[in-house]
Amino acid sequence: MAYLEIGNEAIDFELPNKNGDLIKLSNFKGKKIILYFYPKDNTPGCTLEAQDFKTNLEAFKAKNAVVFGISKDSVKSHCGFSDKLELNFELLSDEEAKVIKEYGIWQLKKNYGKEYFGIVRSTYIIDESFKIKNIYKVSKVAKHVEKILEEL
């Protein structure tokens, strides 16, 4: 499978938010789109990342940007996670990993000598014309959101 690269057009999709409402990515053309993929609700790194996006959301809005978080967690899981953290942006559920695979985020990982497939924490910045402006493979959550804001 060919992965998306900087300069490619973003892949459009529809995924449910925490309320089960379908969100279509192309409805946000004309804005900058921050699309971040994360492994699992209620884990330490994913919680920190979500809180950083929450804290900085007004700064993203000031730069004409919207933020979406995507994982394989269910709508119900996203609802609990979002409500617990009082998130002010959308989490989208991709339980079948269709979009995750299309964006090239479902990859072979290693942990304590075991290999398994999972989500590689990544963030895509999509410009107003729906083109991929940058791709971050995130190894450390700390300062990640600030780096994205600086780039915008």
Per-run averaged pLDDT (10 residues), the chain, 152 residues:
76 94 96 94 85 93 96 93 93 94 86 84 93 85 80 83
79 is catalytic: no
Sign of CA dihedral 127, 1, 97, 84: negative
Residue 81: predicted pLDDT? 93
Given the residues 46, 70, 105, 126, the one annotated as active site: 46
Residue 118: predicted pLDDT? 81
Residue 3: predicted pLDDT? 65
Query: What are the two backbone dihedrals, phi and then psi, of residue 145, each rounded to the nearest 5 degrees?
Result: -65, -40
pTM summary value: 0.89
138: nearest Cα among 52, 57, 75, 54: 52
Strands (DSSP E) found in 17-80: 22-24, 32-37, 65-71
Question: Which residue ranges form the domains of the chain, and what is each CATH number?
Answer: 14-151 (3.40.30.10)
Query: What are the two backbone dihedrals, phi and then psi, of residue 18, each rounded to the nearest 5 degrees?
Result: -65, -20
